[in-house]
Structure 1
Amino acid sequence: MKILSIESSCDETSAAVVEDGRKVLSNIISSQIDIHTKFGGVVPEVASRKHIENISVVVKKALEESKCTFEDIDAIAVTYGPGLVGALLVGLQYAKGLAYSLNKPLIAVNHTEGHISANYIEHKELEPPFITLVVSGGNTFIAYVKDYGEYEILGQTRDDAAGEAFDKVARAIGLGYPGGPKVDKVSKEGNEDFIKFPKANFHDDKVLDFSFSGVKSAVLNYINNSKMKGETYKVEDIAASFQKSVVEVLVDNGIKACKNKKNYTIAVAGGVGCNSKLREVLKEKGEKSGIKVLFPSPVLCTDNAAMIGAAAYYQYMKIGATPLEVNATPNLKLGEIRY
């Protein structure tokens, strides 16, 4: 089954052709990072306008690279939430038009489920049940993947997502946008033990929630206090110390989730999954605990349409096509269906 999938939830316009949920025939991504960098973050209206400009181009390129025509495509998949409502609407309306005009099934997919499903592309042998750690700019949580499309949330952030904290700290120390990759890069030259930033601890191994507003505030307070006292500091040291604090909490809760569920496979999903420190520490601690740690390749960690095609295949196998009346749902939760 060949699925043409479209992703436009934030600032990447992407189209892909995926076969049977695991084989990527093409995955075209048009990024807007350069455009939004001068604003210090994603501007929703600008993102929507660029999606309108790019979407036909990426769909055409995805078909060309896969050596497919519309006649070869069995279904049209698209992200319908969560995300920026204007950006979502561009992809969703385009996909609806294709599905209607070509008389093909429409499959509306949860963006977060797409991130988890990227692991099915990268690791062909992976099947539920397993633990997933979803870490991105909009989400941070741990879930037990019971089956395709069936999830049990084990813990989630009570305030900022990890990626959001990375972006805010990067802005505070003058690194700019996008924060995650820039913090990761400069941290390699810093002393991660320069300052011990706080880590949220709920004092119960069964409570696997996160909180990153405290460590973010601690970084801001440290910078402000240093300026008031006329003290200098190295950006690299602050970045490395902050990153260590965040990564340790993510890894500790991930390992606890595997032990609590007695399931010794953890698959990481989301843009922060590109972070080199997270990959290093989770693999190291996972190996010590007998836990198999899986990461998608970096291109599949960030927003892309191939992951949407993977999620769409298993969704279609379980519940069939989506009604064309489906609307964009910016606050869609994992495992939730709103149509």
Structure 2
Amino acid sequence: MSVEAISWALNHAPVDEPSAAFVLVGLANHASPDGRGAFPSVARLVTYTRLSERTVREQLDILEAAGIITPCDPAIVAAYVKRADHRPQGWDLNLNLDRDNPAHLGRFQAAVKAVKDRRRQRRERKAAESKTVVTEPINDPNGVQPSHLVERGATVAPRSPRGATVADNGVRPSQERGATVAPEPYVEPSNEPSEDQKQSSLLAVGERTVRTARGAAQTPSANQGDHSRMAGDVLGQMPDHYRKAPAWLRSRMLKRIEAVLADHEPLALVEYAHKFAADPNFGDYEHLRRFDDVVRKLDADVADGTACPRCGRDQMHTFCSADVEGGTDER
């Protein structure tokens, strides 16, 4: 902690936005007396300021655009944080700037305006993309859409039942009393299941069914079109530190799982994720590397016959060994 840096941030920094000032004080709390080498994590700044992560990152962008902070030497952060995937962004504070200098304060205000304009443009672009306009053809030569209202006193013909024969004048011919009316053709419903029924008949991915006898339900192999849906189901059955990872990390995990599902069964991936992911040294952002280790371990165990390629359990258990490798129920 530096008293000099904090005093500058509170009294002299060219900042007139409360959120940006609060974030700057949080950075100054970690800077050296000359304002260099401040590298608190974004999570730490969120704790200091009680702002959202998105707001904190936006204020850092504003401060950097105004020249109030600049990225510091990465070697300073590396000297304190050995693991590269855990290193936050470091910053140097420009203690030479002063609030009483109109040029310095003007740069900050211009940076605020630029960031707010970009945010407004993003909102407008998203609104324009989501807005759909449905127009009906206009037959009137003057460009006036005809009214669908019925004038007062006009006679409106009753609607004919579906499939009824209507004459040119809009009147349905009546049947004479006692005349034979041909019955409506009967169409026998098809026994073939629809596509939705075929999809819903698939066993839920990652569902751990009780396999007590040969011939119990198995998870069928999915085609390429199902891998995206299956990846979400697999991730939902994995350990908590996978399911509770940040959104950007879960997005990468889904893409990785979708790629792996081309060669592996879902149940086996879930089984091995639970078996080899309970490590107390599991880091905050090691999910992708640890998942790759799980896949490699599954490949090795399947290759040497110690794991079932369908469910990831012991290769010699009764149910899967008979269907996958042509084995028998005997152990």
Higher alpha-carbon Rg: 2
TM-score, length-scaled by structure 2: 0.19
Looking at secondary structure, tell me which structure has more strand per residue: 1
The two structures have a TM-score, normalised by structure 1, of 0.19
Q: Which has the higher contact order (CA 8 A, sep 6+)?
A: 1
